[in-house]
Structure 1
Amino acid sequence: MTAHPALIEWPEDPSDAAGLALWTSEDIATATGGRASARFAVSGVEIDSRDVVEGDLFFALKGESSDGHRYLEGAAGRGAAGAVVEHASFGPHVLVSNTSSALEDLGKAARSRVDAGIIGVTGSAGKTGVKEALYSALDRACRGRAHRSVKSYNNHVGVPLSLARMPAATRFGVFEMGMNHTGELAALTRLVRPHVAIVTTIAPAHIGHFSGEEEIADAKGEIFEGLERGGVAIIPADSRHFERLRAKAALHAERVISFGSNRDATVRLIDALPAPGGGTLVTADLDGRKVCYTIAQPGAHWVTNSLAVMAAVEAIGGDLGAAGLALAEMEGLAGRGARNTIPASAGDGSGRALLIDESYNANPASMAVTLQQLGQTPATRRIAILGSMRELGADEARYHADLAGPVAEGKVDRLILVGPEMAALASALGKSGAGSLAAAIDVAHVENTAEAAQCLAADGVRGGDAILVKGSNSVGLGALVRSLTAREQ
């Protein structure tokens, strides 16, 4: 049987004629105002010599405590095809006056050369998950020509790096942008120049650098300043800062779309039901059109995230069907909700336990949501290992103490608190961990991740346990997750 050509051939696309190289030395020199020592072509861009693979362009960036020029030999040994440097070097290179400025210039050149729909994502929580879901949805429907910032490359180095890695044939680009000071996002969004800009939520993350949540909302609203003409702003309808965000968005966007449960939301949640095998079956109203889809990720926060994803896919001209499939298949991200099963170590060592990895970041809002989800997770015993929440300013003790309610809602049986800031929560719970909130909780307060690992090992992991690990990245709880999952390797 011979298949019909229309079923096995992609339609022709003008971008098919684009070269295979990501950048040539001539392109790099033109974009950066530098001088190439030789002709070369690269297939990737890297700033960490340890991550260089064959064919990469290595940027020798200078930092406060390091100088990338010291690692040129190592980068070349790993296969770098060329480098961007500030002083003449062995091997193929482009000589520039400032490598950090050159990286930004290359990012600008990458943005200028594509004919792509660009989405920018920011927010106090959920931005990485929304970015990954959008990428999966758009990549599925455009022959693999979607691009996104990897990991959490969302700062003044990560954003231009992510732009510089964008191929010329890209059809959709999704870029995460973060900030912890006023003015940072304004600079980043003018590099990205999105057609669609999303604010996922406003919460007291990095509030130590701001006077209050209102100032955080204003800083997140800076993402709209870089919108292209005719751009779309997407904002959370259920946020108490909605009107503030809408007013900011209206200054720069042709259209403002809201998402959430609010009856006036443009993309409105109609219903959310538990799906067979986990996740949620969602019914939503997309500006008068009803859609139904399944989300693999558990939790009410993912229901809300999915509404933002659907709003952005429609606004950028993507495929809603592909978006639904992507949400149904999307797995948890390492450090941000990944779920692993690990072998039991206590008793006879039989059975399996669930490890929920939320070790990358934490703020009061995300802590509350994640603990709520833990309480809804079937388990014979629930263990929460919670690390300090950083950059909360003068009210950090109150924010930590206020987690007593979410801990009770999480039906936690055993609680290991990590870091000096968690002393406030330990005090709020009392020595028994009971207080007036719930039945007694086994509470331990330790100083660091190593002590947390010892504390967990002392009682062991039992079959049927559900173990949540969550804290600010600087606490280092990712090392505990890696040690627990290493036994599976």
Structure 2
Amino acid sequence: MTLWTSAEAAAATGGQATTDWAATGVSIDTRTIETGDLFVALKAARDGHDFVQMALDKGAAAALVTHRPEGVAEDAPLLIVDDVLSGLESLGAAARARTQAKVLAITGSVGKTSAKEMARVVLSHQGRTHAAEASYNNHWGVPLTLARMPQDTEFAIIEIGMSNPGEIEPLSRLARPHVALVTTVAAAHLEAFEDLTGIAREKASIFKGLEDAGTAIYNSDIPADCLEVVEAAAWEAAKIAFRVGADEAAQYRLGNVQLADGTTIVEADLRDIGPLMFKLNTAGRHFAANGLAILAATRALGGDLVQGALDLGLWQPPAGRGTLEHVTTDPAREETVALIDDAFNANPTSMTAALEVLASYTPVDNVGHVVKGRRVAILGDMLELGADEMAMHAAIADNPHMTDIHLVHCAGPRMRALYDALPEEKRGAYADIASDLAGQATRLVDAGDVVLVKGSKGSKVSLVVDAIRKLGHPDG
């Protein structure tokens, strides 16, 4: 199905099409480009203009450029604009303007990608739903997601992230959501802000892009000064605002949450409806809060709340964000290691949530070289936390869930602070870099263990995940 004709794209961007063409998709990467895509020649680490001919050779319908690159034929299908990123933004704005879709925008220090995927699962069972296939939540990811949106979309989910102040509001204004959600406010990217309330203000700026009569939804289980900031911003911008959380004032109140060996049972109370229960087929108290927020958003978008609660059970976390798999170390004896891959991102809030998940699992005794099965945490550095980063790492030793964790391996100079703060009996291996820890994989874990691997993406602790997988054959 045609997504953009040359005439439509030229009208949207104010650019000039060199020929008539029709695109069925939009791409910024020649490695994943598909036949019929419009290739957008962005400038990043490399200038996308250097790859225009490659894109055309791979079947691109046309390329969005500022000029005809050297070596590209004069009759090549191009859309020439003054600035490529601005052109992509204009495509995104035009795509948003021509659809009747109800739009949900999501941000938060923790959980926005998981929440986006929950929303995709729920809403896709209630109408034609569009969302990015990855975490396309920055200055090019949001317009790209919008530019890819088919005109007949009924629900659109836009994830919006930030690294520095002032990034969220313009992206929200581009997306023009009917419902905007802040999953939480926590110490992530703290080095770019004076304090946590600065992060709260930035996250709450998502509400400024709301359409008239829009709905703001926010997690109320955050520090009081941050809640004050978020709540004020919500009511300033939205016609309706909903609190989601465990506090008594929450319209969507989170009640009892039970974690047990890979499942989460959630009891909630909806002020104008009554009690509600739903189940997630993965463990995590933070997932429970996000699930309830997505149900609130579904209802605000005009969806079926009860059907959504049922469909949440179909959701699984994205790769590297708490996924569970079993690595078979001895197929003949059916010996496995349960591996929780949470190596994509980390901050103190998500670390607490991950440790609670690990503590909820039951290891298997009498199957490995170590008689008792263990709960093992393999932790890499949490990055971008600012001046107090070492204290934040050391404080993990006092986390209440540490009582139920048998062994902790650490990688990275920041995690050294945790390693030194741990009691001797919980200290496992330490390495300055994750690759060195990965080289010790056979000594880090044993059959019967439940193993959590968590750290910021830049810590490269995912190398340990890969090393553990290579100990056997994943079957889960």
Asked if these proteins are the same fold (TM beyond 0.5), I'd say yes
Q: Secondary structure at the match of 1:415?
A: strand
- The superposition leaves residues 420-478 of structure 1 with CA deviations (integer Å, 9 ceiling, x where unpaired) of 1112112222xxx33xxxxx113222122221111222x16422111111111112223
- The superposition leaves residues 187-210 of structure 1 with CA deviations (integer Å, 9 ceiling, x where unpaired) of 111111111111111111111111
Displacement after TM superposition at 1:483 (Å):
4.4
Displacement after TM superposition at 1:85 (Å):
1.1
Aligned alpha-carbon RMSD (Å): 1.9
Correspondence 1:207-356 to 2 at 5 A: 207-240=190-223, 241-273=226-258, 278-290=262-274, 291-344=276-329, 351-356=335-340
Aligned equivalent of 1:419, options 412, 415, 419: 412
Query: Is the Cα contact below 8 Å between 1:357 and 1:469 reproduced in 2?
Result: yes
Query: Is the Cα contact below 8 Å between 1:385 and 1:415 reproduced in 2?
Result: yes
- The superposition leaves residues 68-109 of structure 1 with CA deviations (integer Å, 9 ceiling, x where unpaired) of 111122222332121111112433111111111111111111
Q: Secondary structure at the match of 1:463?
A: coil
Aligned equivalent of 1:115, options 71, 77, 100: 100
Aligned equivalent of 1:82, options 57, 62, 86: 62
Distance 1:349 1:453, change over 3 A: farther
Question: For structure 1, which segment, 255-264 or 324-333, has the greater mean C-alpha deviation from structure 2 after superposition?
Answer: 324-333
Displacement after TM superposition at 1:118 (Å):
0.5
Question: For structure 1, which segment, 112-121 or 266-275, has the greater mean C-alpha deviation from structure 2 after superposition?
Answer: 266-275
Residue 46 of structure 1 aligns with an amino acid whose one-letter code is S
**2:191 paired with 1:198:** no
- Aligned match of 1:59: 40
Query: Is the Cα contact below 8 Å between 1:340 and 1:485 reproduced in 2?
Result: no
Distance 1:407 1:472, change over 3 A: farther
Question: Within 2, Cα distance between the matches of 1:460 and 1:235?
Answer: 40
Question: Within 1, Cα distance between the matches of 2:96 and 2:305?
Answer: 25
Query: Is the Cα contact below 8 Å between 1:280 and 1:298 reproduced in 2?
Result: yes
- Aligned match of 1:176: 159
Residue 413 of structure 2 aligns with an amino acid whose one-letter code is P
**2:43 paired with 1:68:** no
Question: Within 2, Cα distance between the matches of 1:152 and 1:87?
Answer: 30
- The superposition leaves residues 250-291 of structure 1 with CA deviations (integer Å, 9 ceiling, x where unpaired) of 11100110011111111112333457x842332322232122
Question: Within 2, Cα distance between the matches of 1:424 and 1:483?
Answer: 24
**2:355 paired with 1:371:** yes
Q: Secondary structure at the match of 1:403?
A: helix
Residue 9 of structure 2 aligns with an amino acid whose one-letter code is I
Correspondence 1:427-442 to 2 at 5 A: 427-429=420-422, 433-434=423-424, 440-442=425-427
Distance 1:25 1:450, change over 3 A: same
Q: Secondary structure at the match of 2:404?
A: coil
Question: For structure 1, which segment, 475-484 or 170-179, has the greater mean C-alpha deviation from structure 2 after superposition?
Answer: 475-484
Q: How many residues were matched structurally?
A: 456
Residue 212 of structure 2 aligns with an amino acid whose one-letter code is R
- Aligned match of 2:368: none
**2:8 paired with 1:23:** no
- Aligned match of 2:123: 138
Distance 1:110 1:367, change over 3 A: same
Q: Secondary structure at the match of 1:49?
A: coil
Query: Is the Cα contact below 8 Å between 2:439 and 2:467 reproduced in 1?
Result: no
Residue 217 of structure 1 aligns with an amino acid whose one-letter code is A
Unaligned 5+ residue runs, structure 2? 364-372
Distance 1:441 1:349, change over 3 A: farther
Displacement after TM superposition at 1:350 (Å):
5.0
Residue 196 of structure 1 aligns with an amino acid whose one-letter code is V
- Aligned match of 1:388: 381
Query: Is the Cα contact below 8 Å between 1:344 and 1:460 reproduced in 2?
Result: no
Using the size of structure 1 for normalisation, the TM-score is 0.89
Displacement after TM superposition at 1:407 (Å):
7.8
Displacement after TM superposition at 1:345 (Å):
6.8
Question: Within 2, Cα distance between the matches of 1:410 and 1:344?
Answer: 27
Question: For structure 1, which segment, 90-99 or 406-415, has the greater mean C-alpha deviation from structure 2 after superposition?
Answer: 406-415
Question: For structure 1, which segment, 26-35 or 74-83, has the greater mean C-alpha deviation from structure 2 after superposition?
Answer: 74-83
Using the size of structure 2 for normalisation, the TM-score is 0.91
- The superposition leaves residues 358-385 of structure 1 with CA deviations (integer Å, 9 ceiling, x where unpaired) of 1110001101110121011111112211
Residue 61 of structure 1 aligns with an amino acid whose one-letter code is L
Question: Within 2, Cα distance between the matches of 1:441 and 1:68?
Answer: 49
Query: Is the Cα contact below 8 Å between 1:138 and 1:319 reproduced in 2?
Result: no
Residue 78 of structure 1 aligns with an amino acid whose one-letter code is K
- The superposition leaves residues 23-48 of structure 1 with CA deviations (integer Å, 9 ceiling, x where unpaired) of 11111111111111111111111111
Query: Is the Cα contact below 8 Å between 2:438 and 2:463 reproduced in 1?
Result: no
Question: Within 1, Cα distance between the matches of 2:59 and 2:270?
Answer: 48
**2:17 paired with 1:36:** yes
- Aligned match of 1:106: 91
- Aligned match of 1:476: 460
**2:26 paired with 1:45:** yes
Residue 166 of structure 1 aligns with an amino acid whose one-letter code is M
Query: Is the Cα contact below 8 Å between 1:371 and 1:407 reproduced in 2?
Result: no
Question: For structure 1, which segment, 316-325 or 93-102, has the greater mean C-alpha deviation from structure 2 after superposition?
Answer: 316-325
Distance 1:488 1:344, change over 3 A: closer
Distance 1:345 1:211, change over 3 A: farther
Question: Within 2, Cα distance between the matches of 1:54 and 1:449?
Answer: 39
Distance 1:174 1:472, change over 3 A: same
Question: Within 1, Cα distance between the matches of 2:316 and 2:357?
Answer: 16
Question: Within 1, Cα distance between the matches of 2:86 and 2:333?
Answer: 55
- Aligned match of 1:437: none
Q: Secondary structure at the match of 2:104?
A: strand
Question: Within 2, Cα distance between the matches of 1:464 and 1:78?
Answer: 47
Query: Is the Cα contact below 8 Å between 2:119 and 2:294 reproduced in 1?
Result: yes
**2:136 paired with 1:153:** yes
Displacement after TM superposition at 1:134 (Å):
0.8
Residue 354 of structure 1 aligns with an amino acid whose one-letter code is A
Query: Is the Cα contact below 8 Å between 1:343 and 1:349 reproduced in 2?
Result: no
Aligned equivalent of 1:165, options 145, 148, 159: 148
Q: Secondary structure at the match of 1:51?
A: coil
Unaligned 5+ residue runs, structure 1? 1-19, 435-439
Residue 54 of structure 1 aligns with an amino acid whose one-letter code is T
Identity over aligned pairs, percent:
40
Distance 1:338 1:300, change over 3 A: same
Q: Secondary structure at the match of 1:306?
A: helix
